[in-house]
Chain A
Amino acid sequence: MRIRRIPGEMEKVDLPDVDLSLIDPIIKKYKNKRGNLIPLLQGAQDLYGFLPPQAFEKISNDTGLNLSDMYGVATFYAQFRLNPVGKHVVKVCHGTACHVQNAGTITDSLKEALKVDDGATTEDGLFTLESVACLGCCSLAPVMMIDNETYGNLSGKDAVKIVKEIKISESN
Chain B
Amino acid sequence: MEKTQVIVGLGSCGIAAGANKVYNKIKALKKVDNLDFELKQTSCIGMCYREPLVEIIDESGSYLYGEIDEKKVVDLIDQHIVNQNPIKDYVVKTDLFKTKDDVFFEGQVKIALRDCGYINPEIIEEYEERKGYEVIKKIASEKITPESIIKTVYDSGIRGRGGGGFPTGLKWQFARNNPSDEKFIICNADEGDPGAFMDRSLLEGDPHAILEGMIIGAYAIGGTDGVIYCRAEYPLAIKRLNIALGQAREKGYLGENIMGIKGFNFDIFVKEGAGAFVCGEETALIASVEGERGMPRKRPPFPAESGLWNKPTNINNVETFANIPWIIYNGAEAYAKYGTEKSKGTKVFALTGKIKHGGLVEVPMGITIHDVIFKLGGGIQNDKQFKAVQLGGPSGGCIPAYMADTMVDYDSVNATGAIMGSGGMVVMDETICMVDMSRFFLDFTQKESCGKCTFCRIGTKRMLEILTRITEGEGKEGDIEKLELLSYQIKDSSLCGLGQTAPNPVLTTIKYYRNEYEAHIRDKKCPAKSCKKLLTYEVIEENCTGCTVCAKNCPVDAIDGERKELHFIRQDACIKCGVCYDKCKFDAIKLS
Contact = CB atoms under 8 A, between A and B. Distances in A.
A79 B16 contact: no
Given A139-B359, A140-B51, A157-B553, A100 B290 contact: no
B219 interface: no
Interface in A99-146: 99-102, 104-105, 108-109, 112-113, 132-141, 143
Interface centre among B275, B351, B428, B577 (most CB of A within 10 A): B577
Contacts of A96: 194-195, 352-353, 390, 393-394, 424, 426, 440-441
Interface in B206-260: 232-235
Contacts of B444: 133
A48 interface: no
A108 B293 CA distance: 32
Contacts of B274: 38, 41-42, 73, 77-80
B166 to A, nearest CB: 24
Given A100-B428, A138-B195, A112 B277 contact: no
A35 B291 contact: yes
Contact of A76 (B235, B276, B578): B276
A1 B449 contact: yes
Contacts of A32: none
B195 A35 contact: no
A155 B275 contact: no
Contacts of B577: 102, 104-105, 108-109, 156
A66 to B, nearest CB: 11
A139 B358 contact: yes
Contacts of A169: none
A3 B452 CA distance: 13
Given A95-B195, A139-B358, A140-B13, A73 B432 contact: no
A1 B498 CA distance: 13
B191 A136 contact: yes
Contacts of B440: 96, 99
Given A100-B354, A138-B358, A152 B424 contact: no
B12 A73 contact: no
B432 A150 contact: no
B575 A73 contact: no
B575 A112 contact: yes
Contacts of B289: 35
Contact of B16 (A3, A38, A112, A151): A151
Interface residues of B, number: 63
A167 to B, nearest CB: 16
B457 interface: yes
Interface string B1-35: 00000000000110111000000000000000000
A156 B197 contact: no
B197 A136 contact: yes
Given A77-B274, A96-B194, A96-B390, A140 B16 contact: yes
* 9 cross-chain pairs, A with B, having the tightest CB-CB distances, nearest first: A95-B194, A139-B48, A139-B358, A78-B275, A96-B195, A77-B274, A37-B291, A150-B16, A134-B194
Given A38-B288, A105-B577, 16 more contacts: A1-B451, A38-B274, A39-B291, A78-B275, A78-B276, A80-B274, A96-B195, A104-B577, A105-B575, A105-B578, A132-B233, A133-B275, A136-B191, A136-B200, A139-B49, A150-B15
